[in-house]
Structure 1
Amino acid sequence: MNFMQFLKSLDDLLYEVMSWVVFYPITFWGTLSRPWAMMDYADAQLELPEADQYGETLSPPLFLLLTLLLSHGIELTLVGESSLIASKHGLAALISDDTSLLMMRLLVFSIFPLIMAVRLVRRQHQGLTRDTLRQPFYAQCYLAGPFALMIGLGGLVTQTPWSWGHGAGLMLMAAAFLWYGGLQVSWFARKLELPIWRGFLTASIGMIESLVAIALLAPLLV
């Protein structure tokens, strides 16, 4: 790579990173205010050529990653470095800095989109392939962003010295689960053309499977 090619690559990288400042809040607000439209948008974008995808928003996995980065930045401001970085037990020994901690959190919160997407594909009686899984996984990543932020903020508030912090943090995390779970119920009901009670059952099983997977992972980190 010659010097001019390097400058062009730097130009592209700088523009891409700075564009996140504009498109991240657009994506976040769209997910909060129009979750179904955003999920349908994610599905439709994957039908386009790769170069034309997500011209108006961030891609769902990038949105989830940046949301976790935002949550991590707030954590550093409020409570400082996570205890997981200092821990040398189990898989936590692999978390040696903020980057590896962020990647671990991305893995954990990606479990929810993955399991929900797998449940949808199986209930639709499609073959479980990389192609059939991609659309529902990407759509689910949009919902996982605000959910991860609310859970992260709730956990942070419980660690503050404020007298009301513990209760407020738990309430925020409960609200996150109610918001996320309610959207899952409606999503399964819409996608599978089910009555709402069956959508609730399908979503509940998916939530339980996700929490069990995370619970099995958690002891390895402490």
Structure 2
Amino acid sequence: MDFMRLLKSLEELLYEILSWLIFYPMTFWRAFTRPLSMMRYADDELEDRPEDQYDDTISPPLFLLITLLLSQALSTAFPSVAPSAEVNALTHSQSNLLILRGVVFGIFPMVMAVTLIRNKGLILTRSTLRPPFFSQCYVAAPFVFLVGLAVDCLLIPADRGLPYAAAIFLGAVVWYGQAEIRWFQRDLGIGGLRATGLFLLAFFVAITVALVVAVGVALELPRWLAPA
């Protein structure tokens, strides 16, 4: 009986993973071309029964995680400057690198979600934070993928990828900014000028926190790797 349950679990796992091959590209395309619609969709889906949620897409946090995983895999195809021994030690563990990417890039949807909650005058709880965070995961995924691509281009030796890195990063910020500004306008019922100000403030906070986390990891890495 236990063996049959194991087979059933493996069957469901295999089906779920293979279904990503269909639903991930669909979700990415919809998030990239219709970000505001996807954020509204994320809100609506949370009102369904758990078994019916995100039936025709990838769930938002999982979508962001898969995107980070693909971005990490893509990075290995790019030539890059020789990293330090500490960076080599960190990147040698793909799981550690994925966790670090998840924490750093997950800051963006979290900060945007908190900004919305605060400006709505709601009490910040897990329940109130969940809907906007899920919405933000959909729009954050294409953004972090493009930012990761820009970083990969930046690390190409002899600065050959610098123009591409600048163009991709600028395009990512413009795309992300217009989506967030429209989101703030819709959900808060405010004008474009105030929505732009909220986005710029939240974006600055997110970048600052992400840099602090990244620098903190870089400073602590030698101590973590030092022999006991």
TM-score by length of structure 2 reads 0.89
Q: Distance in 2 between matches of 1:215 and 1:111?
A: 10
Seen in structure 2, the aligned counterparts of structure 1 residues 169 and 95 have a Cα distance that, compared at 3 Å, is closer
Contact kept, 8 Å, 2:36 with 2:182, in 1: the verdict is: no
Seen in structure 2, the aligned counterparts of structure 1 residues 100 and 80 have a Cα distance that, compared at 3 Å, is farther
CA drift of 1:190 comes to 1.2
Deviation by residue 1:72-95 (Cα, 9 ceiling, x = unmatched): 1111122379948x417xxx9776
**Partner residue of 1:154 out of 147, 150, 173:** 150
Q: Match of 2:130?
A: 134
CA drift of 1:40 comes to 0.6
Contact kept, 8 Å, 2:20 with 2:58, in 1: the verdict is: yes
What are the equivalent positions in structure 2 for 1:102-181 lying under 5 Å apart?
A: 102-161=98-157, 164-181=160-177
CA drift of 1:22 comes to 0.4
Q: Match of 2:20?
A: 20
Amino acid at match of 1:138: F
Contact kept, 8 Å, 1:75 with 1:81, in 2: the verdict is: no
Instruction: Among all aligned residue pairs of Structure 1 and Structure 2, give the percentage whose two residues are the same amino acid.
Output: 40
Aligned residues: 218
Q: Distance in 1 between matches of 2:154 and 2:80?
A: 14
Deviation by residue 1:180-210 (Cα, 9 ceiling, x = unmatched): 1121111111111111000001111100110
Higher mean C-alpha displacement, 181-190 vs 73-82: 73-82
Q: Distance in 1 between matches of 2:179 and 2:66?
A: 21
Q: Match of 1:186?
A: 182
**Partner residue of 2:208 out of 190, 209, 212:** 212
Residue ranges of structure 1 left out of the alignment (5+ in a row):
none
Q: Distance in 2 between matches of 1:72 and 1:82?
A: 17
Q: Match of 2:56?
A: 56
SS in 2 for 1:87: helix
Q: Distance in 2 between matches of 1:52 and 1:209?
A: 35
What are the equivalent positions in structure 2 for 1:3-14 lying under 5 Å apart?
A: 3-14=3-14
Amino acid at match of 2:137: C
Residue ranges of structure 2 left out of the alignment (5+ in a row):
219-228
Q: Match of 2:198?
A: 202
Amino acid at match of 2:100: M
CA drift of 1:132 comes to 0.6
Amino acid at match of 2:191: P
SS in 1 for 2:57: coil
CA drift of 1:216 comes to 1.4
Amino acid at match of 2:30: G
TM-score by length of structure 1 reads 0.92
Contact kept, 8 Å, 1:155 with 1:170, in 2: the verdict is: no
SS in 1 for 2:104: helix
